[in-house]
Structure 1
Amino acid sequence: MAKKKIIWITIISCILIGGIVYAASIYNDVTTTIETIHEPEIRKVSELRTTEVELVKKEPFSLLLLGVDEREGDKGRSDTMIVLTVNPTTNSTKMVSIPRDTYTEIIGKDKLDKINHAYAFGGIEMSLDSIENLLNIPVDYILQVNMESFLEIVDIIGGVNVDNPSSFQEGGYTFKEGVIHLDGEQALSYVRMRKEDPQGDFGRQSRQKQVLQAIIKEGATINNLWKYKEFLASIQENIRTNITFEQMIDIQKGYKNALDKIETLSFEKGEGTRIDGIWYYLMDDQELTNVSHQLREHLEME
C-alpha cells in the first residue's frame, strides 16, 4: 500500500491535497496550478515511438521522475531518476531507480559520463535521451521535481517522522538510529547523506523514498488538508511536467487499478570503480539487458 501511494503521488502530484481536490471551491486553484507546471516545449513523442501514447485507449506508458538538486549558482544535477512503466491491461506497474553515478553515454554530448550529469549538460531533454538510450525504452512523460525546495513541504505539514536504520552526522545535524522527527532543513540533510552510508547511493535513494512517503502520509491528514493553498504554491514552484491536466484525468480514470500491483526492479550486480580519479557505477551488462527487456515487455514493445 505504501508503494502504491508513492507512485500515485508521482503520477498525480496534486494528490497531496487529498480528497478535497474534488471540491468545487478549489477546482480552479488546482487546474491553474497544473496549467502552470505544464511545460509544452518538452517533447511530446519519443523517437522510440511512431505515435504518441493514447491514454484514452489505455495504452501502456512510461514516466520518469527526475529529482533535481538545484542550488544557488548551480544549474543542478538529477540526483533522483526513477522510471515507471504502467500497463492497465495487466493492471501492473514496474519501477526502477537508476543510480546517479551510472557510467553511460550522454546523448548529445558524445561522451561517457555519470548519467546525472546529463541534466547539467542539457537539461530535461538530454536527461530523457540519455535514460532512453541506457534502458532502450521510450520515456513518454516526465515529472521534474526540485528536491531542495520541494522539501519546504515538510515544514508546511509540521515535519515528518522517519525510521533511521543507522546513526550518522550530516549538515551539522546528528541523526540517531530509530524513529526521528525532521523539519525541512533536517530532512534535506537526511536525504543528501551518502558517503557514510554502507549502501552508498542505494541507501540515499532509500532515504529519499522514506521522506517522500512520510510527506504523503502527513500531507493527507485532516489538519493538513486545510493547507492546500500552501501545497499548491509549493507544487507550482517546484514541479515541471509535460503531462496536461486532461492527461492526468485520463490516467486517474483508466490506470488506477494498475497501481494495485507494483514490482520494483533494481540494479544490484554492478560495481563501483574509479576512472581517471572519478568514481563511477558500472552496470552489469546482463542485468541491464534483463531490466530493459522486462520494461519493454511491460510496455508491450516485445
Structure 2
Amino acid sequence: MSDNIFSDEDFDDYDDMEDTAAKRAQKKSAERRSSGKKKKKSKNKPWIIALIAEILVIILGGVLFVNAYINSAFNKMNFEELKDVKVNDDLAEETVKKMTGYTTIALFGVDSRDIDMVESGARSDAIIIVSINNDTQEVKMSSVYRDTYLELANDSKSYEKATHAYAYGGASEAINTLNKNLDLNITAYVTVNFKALTEAIDALGGLDIELKSSELDKLNQCIDEQQRVNGIQSTYVYDTGVVHLDGVQATAYARIRSTDQGDITRAWRQRKVISLMIEKAKSAGISKLNDCLNAVVDDISSSLTKKEIMDLATNCFNYKLESSTGFPFTWSTPTLGSKGSLVVAGDLENNVVVLHRYLFNDYDYVPSQTVKNISANIINDTGYYNQIDLDTFTVDDDPDSIVNK
C-alpha cells in the first residue's frame, strides 16, 4: 500500500489541481473580458467628456449672451439709485416680515418725451404697485388712482392728488408717498413714458381690444394727442367690438379718461392693456421680445440694478399674473375747491387693510399710527368715511384680467 504512488489523498489533490486549473482558466477568461470592457469604456470616455464640455459651453454661452444683452440694455436705460426711500417708523415688525416674502415694485407711467423723467416735472398718470410672491411666482397688480387724495411725503406734508408726488420729487417722492400712506416698503421702481408703451405694443404686433361706441370719440381725441406727444403716426378708429389696435391706438385707449367713472375706468384700461401685453409676450419668440426691449429701453428709468434685472429676467416665464385691481377699493369723487376733482378713499385706514390682504395675503396686518392719522385727516378734510365691512369685503378681479382668460 505504501508503494502505491497515488493515495486517496493524492487523488483528492489531483481533483483539486484540475479544479484549480479550471478556475485559473475561468479567471483568465474573465480578466480578458474585463480587460476588453475596460478598454471599451476607456475608448468612450473622451466622447462623454467632450459631450459634457459641449453642454457646459452652450449653457455658459447662453448665460454670457443674456448677461451681455442685459448689460447693453442697462447701459441705455436711465438708471437712478434711490437713496432717500423711507418706510414708516411705526410699521409693525410682523408686517415688514410678511412683505419681505414678496418683491414689490412701483410702476409709473408719465407723459413725457424726456429720458430724464425726474427733471422733467412730469406727473405720473399711471401708478401701479406690482407684488411678486417669491415662493409661488404669482403676480398681483394694484393701480393707485392718480387723483387719490393722500398726504405727500415731502416737507410740506400737504394733502394732494397722488400724481403730484412724482412731479414734485420724481420716483423717490412718489415711492415715499406710497410707503407713507399705504404702510408699504417699496424700494424699487420702473418708469416708462407713453412713447415706450407705444413702441412696445408695436414690437409685439399690436393688441386686440374690445371697444364700445361710447369710447370712439374720446379714443380718437387721445390718438391725436399721442401723435403729437410721441411723433409716431397712426390712424383713427371707427369700428366697435374686438378691434386690432397698433401702439398709438392702444396707448390712446389706455389714456381715455372722460367716460364711465373717469380716473377709475382709465386705470382699469391701463391694467387691461398691460395684461394683454403680458399674455402676448408669453407666446412671443425671443426675437420679438428682443425687438420689444430694444424699442423701449431708451425710454425707461429705473432703480433696478443689473443683478436685479438678471434675476427678474431669469424667472420671467415662470411668473403668472394672478389678478389685478384698483386702489382705493371704496371711494367717492368730490370736487374740493382749488384741489379739483379727487378720488377719496372711504376710509383710507380700512382700504389699506384690504390692500395688505390682497397684495401680501396678510390677514393679521394692523395699520400704523401714521396711516390712522392720515385717514382721520382725510375724513376731516372731505367728510367721507368708512364704507368697508372688513368681515365681509372681498376684492373682485378685473373682468378682463388675465386670470379669467
Shorter-chain-normalised TM-score: which range? 0.7 to 0.9
1:279 to 341, 345, 348: 341
Q: Which moved more, 1:183-192 or 1:245-254?
A: 245-254
Aligned Cα RMSD in Å? 3.6
The letter for the 1-side match of 2:196 is S
2:277 to 210, 215, 236: 215
The letter for the 2-side match of 1:79 is D
- Give aligned-pair identity as a percent: 25
Q: Distance in 1 between matches of 2:144 and 2:135?
A: 26
Q: Which moved more, 1:255-264 or 1:145-154?
A: 255-264
**Which residues of 2 match residues 185-196 of structure 1 at below 5 A?**
185-195=248-258
Indicate the structure (1 or 2) with the bigger Cα radius of gyration. 2
2:153 to 100, 107, 113: 107
Larger relative helix fraction: 2
Q: Does 1:236 align with 2:276?
A: no
Corresponding residue for 2:69?
A: 29
Larger relative strand fraction: 1
TM-score, normalization by structure 1? 0.74
- By how many angstroms is 1:93 displaced? 4.3
* Deviation string, structure 1 residues 170-220 (Cα, Å, up to 9, x no partner): 32544543111212222232111111x212222212222232333344445
Corresponding residue for 1:291?
A: 354
- By how many angstroms is 1:226 displaced? 3.0
Gaps of at least 5 residues in structure 1 are: 1-20, 51-57
The letter for the 2-side match of 1:284 is G
Q: Which moved more, 1:83-92 or 1:230-239?
A: 83-92
1:168 to 190, 210, 216: 216
Q: Distance in 2 between matches of 1:227 and 1:90?
A: 27
Corresponding residue for 1:154?
A: 201
Q: Distance in 2 between matches of 1:265 and 1:169?
A: 25
Q: Distance in 1 between matches of 2:84 and 2:319?
A: 23
Corresponding residue for 1:143?
A: 190
CA 1:218–1:95: 2 relative to 1, 3 Å = closer
Q: Does 1:125 align with 2:182?
A: no
CA 1:22–1:135: 2 relative to 1, 3 Å = farther
CA contact (8 A) 1:106 1:118 kept: yes
Q: Distance in 2 between matches of 1:131 and 1:118?
A: 9
Q: Distance in 1 between matches of 2:356 and 2:66?
A: 43
The letter for the 1-side match of 2:265 is G
CA 1:213–1:288: 2 relative to 1, 3 Å = closer
2:246 to 180, 183, 193: 183
CA contact (8 A) 1:83 1:96 kept: yes
The letter for the 1-side match of 2:127 is M
- By how many angstroms is 1:78 displaced? 0.7
CA contact (8 A) 1:104 1:115 kept: yes
Q: Distance in 2 between matches of 1:251 and 1:164?
A: 33
CA 1:129–1:27: 2 relative to 1, 3 Å = closer
- By how many angstroms is 1:255 displaced? 9.5
Q: Which moved more, 1:262-271 or 1:94-103?
A: 262-271
Q: Distance in 2 between matches of 1:100 and 1:235?
A: 23
The structure whose RCO (Cα within 8 Å, separation 6+) is larger is 1
- By how many angstroms is 1:77 displaced? 1.1
Q: Distance in 2 between matches of 1:214 and 1:263?
A: 12
Q: Distance in 2 between matches of 1:36 and 1:146?
A: 15
Q: Distance in 2 between matches of 1:297 and 1:92?
A: 12
* Deviation string, structure 1 residues 106-138 (Cα, Å, up to 9, x no partner): 111331111001111111111011111111111
CA contact (8 A) 2:356 2:363 kept: no
Gaps of at least 5 residues in structure 2 are: 1-60, 92-99, 225-235, 367-405
2:82 to 31, 42, 51: 42
Q: Distance in 2 between matches of 1:230 and 1:110?
A: 43
CA contact (8 A) 1:104 1:134 kept: yes
Q: Distance in 2 between matches of 1:274 and 1:45?
A: 31
The letter for the 2-side match of 1:193 is I
